[in-house]
Chains A and B, each alone.
Chain A
């Protein structure tokens, strides 16, 4: 089984690609989808990936940066780039960072599979020598949670709900809530609030941001509610937190 991650800021594209039957035929396990390079790196930390199929134009971290990161840090992962852009400079960079394919949108499935097959052919000799590790690091449930966490990570600014994420994962909200609790040991809402506040703490260290701006960035439209939640968790207001941080410095 080869593990593959699909990275595209358009969820419909990555999700529809994930649902292709051809993966199963080729013994490829699509572990999840990511919206940008950062999320892809988050996934790489959690999972041992073999193939990443990535778009180029994405927020936060684009496909070229991701390919470069992989080329420098995780050279055993194979990258296939898919793009609407035919520009020579992109193709050239992709080549430079050792991308294994450059598929133009709209994606011709045959072409994509040809690229996958080429990668498999490249890998096969080494794979055969090294037997596949018996313990699969992630279960199906764990993978669902990872997908959720990955999505939450890049969408903190939005007013996320359990239902929304469950829909994305094609699950009912109730079932997803249970799966999340059983895997992480905390409720989805707790997790979401904690992640939001951790992000807020981090942002507070940036003195150019105003407190209400930080609130907005982590998904709180009302600054009062943001301050209240923050105080409940850390026993101090974001302002006090910032002050303390800078006096300690």
Chain B
């Protein structure tokens, strides 16, 4: 048998399917749900953070605007712008210093403030001014040009640039709040520049504690490039192309989820990023746990299904093995039953069946043996009879010579009896032959008996050719003589009648012997009914019980022997058999 066809495999596959699939589906759903949930949480969180940062940024911008207004709406500032006389310039310088001292207090973190007038004067606050840096130089600064281009969109915040106008630290990178400003009469104009350092923006946006995510941060970009560079290595073009909530890969290969919000006051995009791996750590953990649980339970299911299918299939396999052995002829093999389930029942049934089979085979064997013995006996008789007949004839010759016709007659009768008893091996013979046999037997008995023996035989001639199990009359007649007439010590009569009633043939054998007392009669009747087979088989009783057994085994239970008797009056035995016509085929087959 192929393994794939075995019960074990089928059961095993069923168990595996029923354990693996639901486990897998549950695991996958849990993971999916959880990770979605987590992502949504992250989105909310990112929104919050961004909103907060925007408000910080907005507040900062507002502060700058307040500073701007504080300066530009003062009278001194307007005069400074309109002033064309270099001699007056220092006077305004001092006055502006006073003003800005208070103004700068709004945002002390600012680096410095510079006012460039159209008339060629530059005022600065917070850092020393490089006197070589003239009005013209200012106009040539690239970010100033940029602002000039977008003339109407002021104020603006520049990208990060150095300070060539500073006397102290020209390389200091700063952002600048730049506004084109006019005097009160709107005759002259100038630029107000408030510088603030990168740190300031970072301090506003990147203060710790606002996020529980370790690998996160903030950066800003606008349509030209990064305003506040991200701390991670991101390409600007990736960032510009992405939408809020998408995943961007850094140059170092890490993936980040980036949420972005537009800040309209400055045209900035403020972004909050989270490292994907760090964010998904818990999700991955859950996934790991789900997988471990699935695999573990699958493994347990596997073991369980192995065990259960083994438990189920092993007894079946054993039964199969026992059956194979029985098939090959070993009928002593038994299936050892442990279980009380259907397989146990099956095994018990099988054992019973084999037991019956064995009994049957033994019975058949026994029958064969008996048959063979009978055949051997018959063969022996067949080898010898010619010698027997010749010897009988020799005795017959002597009797003839000595003029002893009685001896001769007896020998002839004996010869005939012998002939009929061994001539036929059929189990059934015509009734005519049965009658001839009984006549020969009675004739011999007649000579043998001390007291005269009379007999009458009246058989309906139409019965002659019907079949009967052979030699059913002789044992009855023998019983009648030995048990009935012999003890009588006077002349005996035997009457044999054969007639048919419907489809049944009835033989009646009557004697005038001593009869049977009722106790004995009861006993014989009982034995005839219940134990004739055993008596015939084991006690070697070839009389009435043997006849009964043979009739029953050939014709079945309604037929057989009944016996009736009265003390000192005699015994009547009745034998009933079915009317059976001679049928050559039937006889041959027996």
Contacts and interface: CB of A to CB of B under 8 A. Distances in A.
A16 B415 contact: no
A84 B400 contact: no
B389 A19 contact: no
A84 B385 contact: yes
Interface string B410-425: 0110111001000100
Contact of A17 (B390, B400, B412): B400
A54 to B, nearest CB: 14
Contacts of A60: none
Query: Considering residues B390, B392, B395, which has the most beta carbons from chain A within 10 angstroms of its beta carbon?
Result: B390
A16 B400 CA distance: 6
B394 A13 contact: yes
A162 interface: no
B400 A20 contact: yes
A16 B397 contact: yes
B364 interface: no
B423 A107 contact: no
Contacts of B385: 84
Interface in B548-575: none
A12 B397 contact: yes
Given A106-B411, A106-B412, A107-B393, A12 B398 contact: yes
Query: Considering residues A10, A15, A16, A104, which has the most beta carbons from chain B within 10 angstroms of its beta carbon?
Result: A16
Query: Considering residues B385, B395, B405, B412, which has the most beta carbons from chain A within 10 angstroms of its beta carbon?
Result: B412
B412 A12 contact: no
Interface string A96-119: 000000001111110000000000
B396 interface: yes
B415 A106 contact: yes
A106 B423 contact: no
Interface residues of B, number: 22
Query: Considering residues A17, A105, A106, A107, which has the most beta carbons from chain B within 10 angstroms of its beta carbon?
Result: A106
Interface residues of A, number: 17
Contact of A84 (B390, B397, B398, B405): B390
A151 interface: no
Nearest to B414: A106
A19 B389 CA distance: 21
B132 interface: no
A4 to B, nearest CB: 16
Interface in A1-60: 10, 12-13, 15-17, 19-20
B408 A12 contact: no
B130 to A, nearest CB: 159
A86 interface: yes
Contact of A10 (B386, B394, B395, B423): B394
A85 B400 CA distance: 21
B149 interface: no
Contacts of A105: 389-390, 392-393, 396, 415
A86 B386 CA distance: 10
A10 B408 CA distance: 17
B340 interface: no
B381 to A, nearest CB: 13
B419 A86 contact: yes
B75 interface: no
A12 B423 CA distance: 27
Nearest to A57: B386
B520 to A, nearest CB: 40
Interface in A104-136: 104-109
A84 B386 contact: yes
Query: Considering residues A12, A20, A104, A107, which has the most beta carbons from chain B within 10 angstroms of its beta carbon?
Result: A107
Contacts of A16: 396-398, 400-401
A86 B415 CA distance: 12
A109 B394 contact: no
A85 B386 CA distance: 7
Nearest to B402: A16
Given A10-B394, A13-B394, A19 B415 contact: no
Query: Considering residues B390, B397, B416, B423, which has the most beta carbons from chain A within 10 angstroms of its beta carbon?
Result: B397
A67 B340 CA distance: 83
A12 B405 contact: no
Nearest to B388: A84
A106 B389 contact: yes
A165 to B, nearest CB: 19
B413 to A, nearest CB: 9
B401 A106 contact: no
Query: Considering residues A84, A104, A108, which has the most beta carbons from chain B within 10 angstroms of its beta carbon?
Result: A84
Contacts of A10: 390, 393-394, 397
Contacts of B386: 84-85
A75 B187 CA distance: 186
B400 A106 contact: no
Contact of B423 (A13, A15, A86, A109): A86
B423 A17 contact: no
Query: Considering residues A17, A20, A104, A105, which has the most beta carbons from chain B within 10 angstroms of its beta carbon?
Result: A105
Interface of A: 10, 12-13, 15-17, 19-20, 84-86, 104-109
6 contacts: A12-B394, A17-B400, A105-B392, A106-B411, A107-B396, A108-B416
Q: Which 7 A-B pairs have the closest CB atoms?
A: A16-B397, A84-B389, A105-B393, A106-B392, A16-B400, A106-B415, A108-B412
Given A15-B401, A16-B397, A106-B412, 19 more contacts: A13-B393, A13-B394, A13-B397, A16-B396, A16-B400, A16-B401, A19-B401, A84-B386, A84-B390, A84-B393, A86-B423, A105-B392, A106-B392, A106-B395, A106-B411, A109-B400, A109-B405, A109-B408, A109-B412
